[in-house]
Amino acid sequence: MIRKLNKFELKKNQKGVVEFGWIFSIIVGAIILFFAFYFVGTQLMQKENMNQIVSSQALDVLYTPFSYVGSVAEASASVAKIDKTSTLTVECSGITGSDPLGYNEVSTYSFYKGEKNIGISRRAYDKYVFAEDGTEKYFFVMSKPLNMPWRIADLVYTFPNNQSYCFIGSPTNIRNELQGLENASQTKHFFFDTENIDSEIKSKCINVCFGTTPGCDIVVNSLKQSNYVLGYTVKNNKKMYYYGNTLLYATLFSSPELYECNLKRLASRASIQRDLYIEKDRVLKQKQCYSLFSLGPLGSSFDNLKKTGLTDREKEDIFAGIKTNSELLNNQNRGADCALY
Amino acid sequence: MKKNRQGQMKIQEMAFVLIAFIFLLGLLLLFFARFQMAQIQDISDQIRIVRGQNMLQYVANLPELNCPSSFSGLAGRSCIDYDKLKVFVNNGEINKKYERIFSSAYLSKIEVDIVFPTNETFVLYNSNTQNNVQAYKTYIPVCEEDSQKGSCKIGIVKIWIETS
């Protein structure tokens, strides 16, 4: 009887050991699975972060403060690649009392299963980015200094790499400059000989017409017989006034709202630089450098450009004034004992 | 009784194996994490160095400091206008308007030192931050206009970038 009981107890114990073995297996399995999922999860997260870093590096040209292309080159161009097809947006915060130079906020976002994934978003205080919202993996980026008459800043233009522009009746200097930039970046976005281009490209092309021609997406008009040095661009039924090729390109590649906002930021910067040059002029005079620089009228034009609610007529007058005074100041600078800029 | 002991031994064995297994797994993960950290640190150092060097170029080529066209012999190379530099440093009203640009770039201090033939120091910006900073510097000509031909001095642009 005692022996039977022991056997029964032993069986019970053995059963307990088996059950315990199972429990251990489950625990070990759970730990292994947990670590496996954790490891894969962190790896994916890390990869995502790395991709974002790579993207942000690629778009460094849009984000990094300060610009220096203008002091070493007439213009430059390259293609920026981001990790996945994303929409690039550029917002502009205008000038305020506490923020006299404003800023651009450059962001990327993509959609995955209907959900909006915010990529990178950064404020650039020293950048003047001209763009329209566009979705692509590759973006064509161009930069050109704005000299009015001194170098105010370098402007950055960007658009999706699959976008093309067909220029109709453009002046030779614009054609040469844009083609030169394309060759340097080994891309093809600008077409000038519009009659001999592929029909597929032609159908996708954004038509830029110099002078009024039917079927144009963007129309550039010249003012005061300046051969498009001074003029205005009509895009989305809105007029954007400009002086010089640097601002003309900005009107072509930017939305009208962004253009107007960045223009005010640039006017504010030019206004501050004018104050700096007035001081420098004073220093030069103390060094017996006799020269006359008419900084006043140009400064007034910049101050006027900062104002809001300007009419088309007022904008036209301001840009005409900037052109006249820039040319005058350029002549004064060339003939001076000591150059101002 | 003997079988009971055997069972207990098995349980202890399993517990020991389990602890050893977790310990080994932990070590492996620790090693892997260290390896990953070192890699990330390496990349971040590289990015920081490139960013620092770029920032030096950017500061040296600011339109507010750039040399006039009369020093076109230095075309393609950075050059700082001595008179503009003095105005920029001494005119607090102008200087203040650029503070946001400098701080947004995580710059904690910008300085231009003239080292030859005279010794002068110009502090363009100083945030007086207590954060960790990394310094970068480069030599640059600092040129000055005068009624004769103008002259250049040897200068150093120094920047301090916040690292944390």
Residue A145 φ/ψ region, left for φ over 0, alpha for ψ in the -120 to 50 degree band, beta for the rest? beta
- One domain, residues A134 and A248: yes
Mean pLDDT within B106-132? 93
Closest Cβ–Cβ partner in B22, B60, B61 for A31? B22
- One domain, residues A310 and A210: no
Return the bridge partners of A110, or none: A117
The CA-based diameter of chain B, rounded to the nearest angstrom, is 111
Q: Which of A127-136, A188-197, A331-340, B2-11 has the lowest mean pLDDT?
A: B2-11
- One domain, residues A254 and A277: no
pLDDT above 90 (res A317): yes
pLDDT above 50 (res A2): no
Task: Provide the shortest C-alpha distance from residue A68 to chain B (in Å).
Answer: 5
Contact A337, A289 (CB under 8 A): yes
**Residue A278 domain flag:** yes
Contact A68, B80 (CB under 8 A): no
Q: How far apart are CA A212 and CA B88, in angstroms?
A: 46
- One domain, residues A118 and A175: yes
Contact B124, B131 (CB under 8 A): no
Q: Token pair of A313, please?
A: 């007529």
Residues in chain B: 164
Q: Which of the listed residues A261, A281, A311 is the one where a domain comes to its end?
A: A261
Mean pLDDT within B100-121? 93
- Name the average pLDDT for chain B: 87
Q: How many CB atoms lie within 10 A of CB B35?
A: 10
- One domain, residues A311 and A165: no
Per-domain residue ranges of chain B: 35-162
pLDDT above 90 (res A103): yes
User: Which residues in chain B have their CB less than 8 angstroms from residue A126's CB?
Assistant: 101, 104-105
**Residue A209 domain flag:** yes
Q: Which of A19-23, A254-258, B66-70, B114-118 has the lowest mean pLDDT?
A: A19-23
- One domain, residues A232 and A90: yes
- One domain, residues A277 and A255: no
pLDDT of amino acid A115? 80
**Residue A17 domain flag:** no
- One domain, residues A295 and A228: no
ipTM exceeds 0.85, yes or no: no
**Residue A128 domain flag:** yes
Mutate to test the interface with A, among B40, B44, B84, B107 (most CBs of A within 10 A): B84
pLDDT of amino acid A323? 97
User: Which residues in chain B have their CB less than 8 angstroms from residue A64's CB?
Assistant: 51, 54-55, 58, 105
Q: Which of the listed residues A261, A286, A312 is the one where a domain comes to its end?
A: A261
CB contact under 8 A, A70 and B63: yes
pLDDT above 80 (res A1): no
User: Which residues in chain B have their CB less than 8 angstroms from residue A61's CB?
Assistant: none
What chain B residue is nearest to A14 in terms of C-alpha separation? B7
Contact A104, A92 (CB under 8 A): yes
User: Which residues in chain B have their CB less than 8 angstroms from residue A57's CB?
Assistant: 47
Q: How far apart are CA A244 and CA A67, in angstroms?
A: 19
Q: Token pair of A225, please?
A: 């017989």
Nearest CA to A82 out of A60, A54, A50 is that of A54
**Residue A173 domain flag:** yes
Q: What is the residue range of A302's domain?
A: 262-335
pLDDT of amino acid A68? 53
User: Which residues in chain A have their CB less than 8 angstroms from residue B62's CB?
Assistant: 66, 68
CA A184: distance to chain centroid? Answer: 19
**Residue A139 domain flag:** yes
Mean pLDDT within B21-31? 86
3-class DSSP state for residue B108?
strand
Q: Which of the listed residues A243, A261, A279 is the one where a domain comes to its end?
A: A261
The pLDDT tens digits of the residues spanning A214-255 come to 889 999 999 999 999 999 999 999 999 999 999 999 999 999
Mutate to test the interface with B, among A53, A269, A276, A284 (most CBs of B within 10 A): A276
Residues B94/B78/A328/A254 CA torsion (nearest 10 deg) = -80
User: Which residues in chain B have their CB less than 8 angstroms from residue A99's CB?
Assistant: 100
- One domain, residues A228 and A320: no
- Name the average pLDDT for chain A: 86
Q: How far apart are CA B107 and CA B123, in angstroms?
A: 13
Q: Residue A256: is the preceding peptide bond cis (ω within 30°)?
A: no
- One domain, residues A280 and A247: no
- One domain, residues A313 and A228: no
CB contact under 8 A, A151 and B66: yes
CB contact under 8 A, B87 and A64: no
User: Which residues in chain B have their CB less than 8 angstroms from residue A331's CB?
Assistant: none
pLDDT of amino acid B26? 86
Q: How far apart are CA B66 and CA A66, in angstroms?
A: 13
Q: How far apart are CA B18 and CA B41, in angstroms?
A: 34
Task: Provide the shortest C-alpha distance from residue A66 to chain B (in Å).
Answer: 5
CB contact under 8 A, A338 and B86: no
pLDDT of amino acid A97? 86
The pLDDT tens digits of the residues spanning A157-191 come to 999 999 999 999 999 999 999 998 888 888 899 99
CB contact under 8 A, A64 and B51: yes
The pLDDT tens digits of the residues spanning B147-158 come to 877 889 999 999
Closest Cβ–Cβ partner in B3, B87, B104 for A283? B87
pLDDT above 60 (res A207): yes
Answer with the residue of higher pLDDT: B49 or B108.
B108
- One domain, residues A271 and A232: no
* Domain total in chain A: 2
pLDDT of amino acid A212? 75
CB contact under 8 A, B98 and A124: no
